[in-house]
């Protein structure tokens, strides 16, 4: 206790020796402008505080490749760089990349908002908080990895990131906020973690290349318009924990072919202004637990689907039956060849795997994760041997 008190007194003495302007003001180091945070003292390391990267005001935006160090010198001492401040890189249109150190814990709101040429930024494992609209309207950002210390994706974090394609979410995310990924046109798939409980209003609206979505069992509510106008969505699995799907959650998702709802009790579907949760009840096949089949058919809203089957009745669980007509023949071979010609992009040949919670690719005959000529040859061999199923997904 005495040692701690002595260290604290020494820190106060050091602060007293520093000019007041130094304590309150900002400073440049290697072209980056910092503010001073006085919330930590460790004289044994020669560190007396924390620094925060801040907007450099009237001197113009940052450009090119910016590297933020762990420590910056200041008044004969060093500061840990722990925060990227609000608007720090806001609308820096010539900024192309940012490298952050493992001392950063907080990225404040709109820190990188509107950086039209930002292509890459790392989020180190030390980060625990990402503010609102941090990367909104960064149209050239292509990939992001959210570390496990982050538990929520806040309002508009990646809104309008039209080239964002590769997203790895924290395994501890519980909340995906309003407009988090709205308008991410290039996002074709995303794995939602088993920690997630809430998907908020318009979270993935306008992600028109998002083809297959699995809502984990941990999710309890899907907000209004959450996946609105995801026009390329083919398949959807709704976890067994979902109790409410709000209005227009999947409105405009008119390419849906398969919907699996694993909830024993049909999730509530509150209406608002006549906006339904789905806008096509004729095309998609809805698969539900066998024990709940009649409850879904009798439901005011779920009962609108023309075809409701038990999960056990998913057509086309057999590898090779690509067109899902219950037979394996030359038509399926042609479909696999088409996939190979497209470079192995087999989005329309995947169906929900209700047991595994993922997807079965009916064109991946040899189950190696790729669709190529080897699968064509395997399918032809299968057809020549009495059209037996190539494989049954369990």
Q: Residue 331: inside a domain, yes or no?
A: yes
pLDDT digits (tens, 9 = 90+) for 326-378: 788 888 888 888 888 877 655 567 777 766 666 778 888 888 878 888 888 88
For residues 193 and 169, the answer to whether their CB atoms sit within 8 Å is yes
> How many whole angstroms separate alpha carbon 314 and alpha carbon 26?
63
Residue 382 included in any domain: yes
Within a domain: 328: yes
- Domains in the chain: how many in total? 1
pLDDT reported for residue 8: 35
pTM of the model: 0.81
Tell me what the mean pLDDT of segment 235-242 comes to. Answer: 95
Instruction: Work out the percent of the chain whose per-residue pLDDT is above 90.
Output: 59
The average pLDDT across 383-389 equals 66
Mean pLDDT of 252-267: 94
- Bridge-partner residues for 268, per DSSP? 244
Q: How far apart are the first and last CA of the chain?
A: 62
- Any idea which residue has 């609206």 for tokens? 205
- Looking at the domain assignment, is residue 351 inside a domain? yes
Helix, strand, or coil (residue 203): coil
Lowest mean pLDDT among 42-46, 235-239, 258-262, 312-316: 42-46
Determine the pLDDT at residue 338. Answer: 84
Q: Rounded mean pLDDT of 289-313? A: 93
Task: Specify the CATH number for the domain of residue 320.
Answer: 1.10.1330.10
Q: Measured between alpha carbons, how far is residue 127 from residues 102, 115, 137, 149, 150 in Å?
A: 8, 21, 21, 6, 7
Domain of residue 366 covers: 314-394
Please indicate, yes or no, if residue 338 is contained in any of the structural domains.
yes
Q: Which residue has the higher pLDDT, 353 or 111?
A: 111
What confidence tier does 74 reach under pLDDT thresholds 50, 70, 90?
A: confident
Average pLDDT over residues 72-76: 86
346 located within any domain: yes
> At residue 213, what are phi and psi to the nearest 5 degrees?
-125, 130
What's phi and psi for 386, nearest 5 deg? 70, 25
Q: Is 371 part of any domain?
A: yes
pLDDT at 345: 58
User: Does residue 330 belong to any structural domain of this protein?
Assistant: yes
How far apart (Å, rounded) are the C-alpha atoms in residues 128 and 107? 9
Confidence of residue 387 (pLDDT cuts 50, 70, 90): low
In this structure, of 37-41, 76-80, 83-87, 332-336, the range with the lowest mean pLDDT score is 37-41
Are 199 and 223 in contact, with CB atoms under 8 Å apart?
Answer: yes
What distance in Å separates the CA atoms of residue 244 and residue 259, rounded to the nearest whole number?
16
């Amino acid at each position: 206790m005495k040692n701690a008190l002595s260290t604290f007194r020494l820190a106060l003495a050091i602060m007293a020796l520093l000019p007041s302007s130094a304590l309150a003001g900002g400073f440049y180091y290697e072209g980056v402008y910092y503010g001073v945070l006085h919330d930590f003292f460790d004289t044994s390391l020669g560190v007396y505080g924390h620094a925060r990267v801040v907007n450099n005001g009237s001197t113009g935006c940052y450009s090119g490749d910016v590297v933020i160090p762990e420590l910056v010198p200041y008044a004969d001492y060093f500061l840990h760089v722990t925060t990227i401040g609000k608007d720090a890189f806001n609308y820096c249109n010539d900024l192309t990349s940012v490298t952050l150190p493992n001392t950063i814990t907080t990225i404040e709101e709109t820190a990188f908002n509107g950086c039209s040429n930002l292509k890459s930024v790392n989020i180190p494992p030390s980060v625990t908080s990402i503010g609102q609209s941090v990367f909104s309207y960064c149209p050239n950002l292509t990939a992001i990895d959210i570390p496990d210390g982050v538990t929520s994706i806040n309002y508009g974090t990646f809104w309008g990131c039209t080239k964002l394609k590769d997203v790895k979410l924290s395994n501890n995310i519980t909340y995906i906020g309003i407009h988090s990924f709205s308008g991410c046109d290039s996002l074709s798939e995303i794995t939602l973690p088993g920690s997630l409980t809430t998907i908020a209003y318009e979270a993935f609206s306008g992600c028109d290349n998002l083809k297959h979505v699995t809502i984990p069992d941990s999710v309890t509510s899907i907000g209004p318009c959450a996946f609105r106008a995801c026009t390329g969505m083919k398949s959807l699995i709704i976890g067994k924990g979902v109790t409410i799907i709000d209005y227009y959650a999947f409105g405009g998702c008119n390419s849906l072919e398969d919907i699996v709802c694993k909830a024993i009790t049909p999730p509530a579907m509150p209406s608002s202004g006549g906006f339904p949760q789905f806008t096509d009840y004729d095309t998609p096949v809805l698969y539900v637990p066998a024990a709940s089949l009649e409850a879904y058919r009798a439901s005011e809203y779920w009962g609108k689907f023309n075809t409701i089957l038990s999960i056990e009745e998913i057509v086309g669980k057999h590898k090779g039956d690509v067109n899902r007509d219950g037979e394996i023949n030359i038509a399926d071979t042609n479909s696999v060849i088409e996939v190979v010609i497209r470079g192995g992009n087999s989005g329309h040949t995947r169906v929900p795997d209700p047991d595994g919670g993922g997807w079965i690719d009916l064109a991946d005959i040899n189950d190696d994760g790729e669709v190529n000529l080897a699968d064509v040859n395997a399918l032809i061999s299968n057809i020549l041997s009495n059209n037996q199923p190539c494989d049954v997904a369990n």
